[in-house]
Structure 1
């Protein structure tokens, strides 16, 4: 365990500084070549048979022999599917109840943390509610444990105490909508593909309902050190450029933080750095490099593409796509890379070129009546039903340069506000800004209409473009899929 930890600490700065090598040539020939890298004879059999994998609202083609590994899923509450795990989930429920019974809330007259255990018939299961730790005052832990035929389901939330009833209703709604899904099934209705299951959308989903975080990874059987991962999440409406790979690369290039970063530049091989487009998803940027051999770390490929996305558009979200070789014990560089440079680029091009929106038959979302009925200045707290369509502003501290305003429709739940947390050292290095959601009070400031929501009907489209210039144990997931942007958001009301 210790050597692996040290290796990861070494890799993080290397991955960051690897983006700097592009300074050598601002317009390399590779940027101007729109053609995908051809598969070598050794790779051609790998892609003779492929399978379509549905994840979230998207699809991708991978080799038929590839193993799929699901990471943390929030849609908009945390949900985990335990394949053939009904008894395992029953055990988890009992363990949670026992833990809550055994502890007391020291600031609430030492009452037990357990508040209630509610049984459900459809689907079969129970919802357990308790205080979130012995020091808790207003925070709860609510978890639903359900049977979905032969699969077990756990839905977790960490709401405020006043949101208890609303959160339980959301857990029940998710549990009743969930259905099993074959691994090769890509449903034609709107909703999210998750591990072994599908969650159809509500009839009239709100922006809070669309706070979706999907993580999925693929391991190539023929090249077990090669790992591919995709993470999609809501685009940051306050600072989308804060998630830009191009901006991060420019910042580090212009002002390397340490001597070690500067020294690493001369050892890193650069293949491609350019804008990236998938369908009309035009906010992408990709960087393809190979890190050099270091002490205790083999040379490995580190490819990444990031899309800043379009705020409030579930079909063009933020995305972080990565491909690494030399992976062992879930750490890149732990073993020797089995792919050559050309082969690694070819695999990257082949898989990323197939990412696309899953076609559905849904209709455009109708806008609510926007006629003024309540006076400006009307107040409504997070979690309450919105009484008036219009522009609302919250009173919570906002990110620098961010807006407090949001258009909310009558009948929707008043959403949480987004606040910016303190970044870690590595987040500062990479230019990432962790965010979290918080309850607040909203004030009606205008009756103006919002721009109409995008037509959610999706047609089969062309594949991705480069701009010119199941072998895992039951319930297992790839730890490398658990991190990333958005993990600072508590799994309370809406992911």
Structure 2
């Protein structure tokens, strides 16, 4: 998680006039975003990506028109109907409409090379608010499998969980809706890239989201949140370990700041580093965590990271940067402007 490591504290010098102007331009029009069940204010002009996983169901979204959605579904149907199992098993088992007009679902073998005829993948689609929403989960059906008489299969309590998991997917598909990045829901539920699932706070949910600053491809904010993670040690305890201190020295890193942070109704810890990044270019790696050892549905764990410099991926190729697009002073000022706005979303739980 923390690639750029540090050996000692090194408070950045006061910002120059040029650095102040850069930070002012980046933070002049912060917009509130919903991440999981939290809110944070981010600069305008961000590329956003991410996913969610609810009760074992993966949720992915893609911005597209209604016509494009129809073409995508037709293409996917053709692909699945044309796929053949390498071992001669049936590949596509079910397809049709889920619980709603315009929805579609498929139950298939998954991997054409799978050695078992009992494996299943359930995938379902809908289009809402200019987003295609795709739900997937793995399942199994041994009721008619060539392996159904194996002793281990006979001992299974549930030999076919496809109906149960299909109902789960259909239920989530019915509730989930598309969501623009700057839309802030007012009801309980989980925000993720391109979507929102209205639901009271519970377990078995996770969300990951990334924001990349347009024009500064190496400036990357990353968020992860889940109520199901509970660490035994805190961020500050781990970064004070002998192992990390040795890594700090070896990586030629500089500790900018570390400590506890009081946010709006939240107690957080942060660790800010300048040093070598992947690709050997120098840059920054800042981390902040909340509810790390006390995570629960009503107060889920959340991590926020900012990385700069190192290398960026352009058209599938990694390009090493001679320097980060922000100085360390600018990065710290941007971090402070954004991270201090983190707060629970009202009525989010």
TM-score category, normalised to shorter length: 0.7 to 0.9
**Against the structure 1 CA distance between its residues 61 and 255, is the aligned structure 2 distance closer, same or farther, given a 3 Å change threshold?**
closer
Counterpart of 2:332 (choices 345, 361, 365) is: 345
**Against the structure 1 CA distance between its residues 334 and 86, is the aligned structure 2 distance closer, same or farther, given a 3 Å change threshold?**
farther
Counterpart of 2:292 (choices 292, 299, 309) is: 309
**Against the structure 1 CA distance between its residues 85 and 299, is the aligned structure 2 distance closer, same or farther, given a 3 Å change threshold?**
same
Distance 1:220 1:95 in 2: 33
**Against the structure 1 CA distance between its residues 54 and 332, is the aligned structure 2 distance closer, same or farther, given a 3 Å change threshold?**
farther
User: Deviation at 1:262?
Assistant: 6.8
Given that 2:50 and 2:192 are in contact with CA atoms closer than 8 Å, whether structure 1 keeps it comes out as: no
Distance 2:74 2:236 in 1: 48
Counterpart of 1:50 (choices 30, 49, 53) is: 30
Unaligned runs of 5+ in 2: 12-16, 142-159
2:194 alignment partner in structure 1? 196
**Against the structure 1 CA distance between its residues 61 and 166, is the aligned structure 2 distance closer, same or farther, given a 3 Å change threshold?**
same
Given that 2:255 and 2:274 are in contact with CA atoms closer than 8 Å, whether structure 1 keeps it comes out as: yes
Given that 1:19 and 1:287 are in contact with CA atoms closer than 8 Å, whether structure 2 keeps it comes out as: no
Counterpart of 2:259 (choices 250, 274, 287) is: 274
Distance 1:303 1:149 in 2: 34
SS at match of 1:185: coil
**Against the structure 1 CA distance between its residues 19 and 246, is the aligned structure 2 distance closer, same or farther, given a 3 Å change threshold?**
farther
User: Deviation at 1:309?
Assistant: 3.0
Unaligned runs of 5+ in 1: 1-11, 23-27, 31-37, 363-455, 457-495
1:103 alignment partner in structure 2? 84
Deviations along 1:325-356, one digit per CA (max 9) or x if unpaired, are 22522769634212222211111111000111
User: Deviation at 1:248?
Assistant: 3.3
Deviations along 1:417-474, one digit per CA (max 9) or x if unpaired, are xxxxxxxxxxxxxxxxxxxxxxxxxxxxxxxxxxxxxxx4xxxxxxxxxxxxxxxxxx
Question: Does structure 1 residue 132 correspond to structure 2 residue 110?
Answer: yes
**Against the structure 1 CA distance between its residues 174 and 268, is the aligned structure 2 distance closer, same or farther, given a 3 Å change threshold?**
same
Aligned pairs (5 A) from 1:60-75? 60-64=40-44, 66-75=45-54
**Against the structure 1 CA distance between its residues 293 and 349, is the aligned structure 2 distance closer, same or farther, given a 3 Å change threshold?**
closer
Deviations along 1:127-158, one digit per CA (max 9) or x if unpaired, are 10122332235432000022325432211111
1:177 alignment partner in structure 2? 175
1:447 alignment partner in structure 2? none
Distance 2:262 2:195 in 1: 29
2:229 alignment partner in structure 1? 236
**Against the structure 1 CA distance between its residues 348 and 104, is the aligned structure 2 distance closer, same or farther, given a 3 Å change threshold?**
same
**Against the structure 1 CA distance between its residues 87 and 78, is the aligned structure 2 distance closer, same or farther, given a 3 Å change threshold?**
farther
**Against the structure 1 CA distance between its residues 309 and 123, is the aligned structure 2 distance closer, same or farther, given a 3 Å change threshold?**
farther
Counterpart of 1:166 (choices 164, 181, 190) is: 164
Counterpart of 1:215 (choices 208, 213, 217) is: 208
SS at match of 1:288: strand
Give the number of aligned pairs: 317
Given that 1:68 and 1:216 are in contact with CA atoms closer than 8 Å, whether structure 2 keeps it comes out as: no
Distance 1:175 1:301 in 2: 39
Which is bigger in relative contact order (C-alpha 8 A, separation at least 6)?
2
**Against the structure 1 CA distance between its residues 129 and 318, is the aligned structure 2 distance closer, same or farther, given a 3 Å change threshold?**
same
Counterpart of 1:264 (choices 232, 241, 250) is: 250
Distance 1:225 1:262 in 2: 22
Distance 2:294 2:319 in 1: 32
Aligned pairs (5 A) from 1:304-453? 304-307=287-290, 309=292, 313-326=296-309, 327-329=311-313, 334-360=321-347
> TM-score, normalised to structure 1's length?
0.56
**Against the structure 1 CA distance between its residues 272 and 85, is the aligned structure 2 distance closer, same or farther, given a 3 Å change threshold?**
same
The structure in which a higher percent of residues are strand is: 2
**Against the structure 1 CA distance between its residues 348 and 315, is the aligned structure 2 distance closer, same or farther, given a 3 Å change threshold?**
farther
Deviates more, 1:114-123 or 1:48-57: 114-123
Deviations along 1:273-325, one digit per CA (max 9) or x if unpaired, are 2234444443x43211111489x632111112234535662343222211112
Given that 1:225 and 1:335 are in contact with CA atoms closer than 8 Å, whether structure 2 keeps it comes out as: no
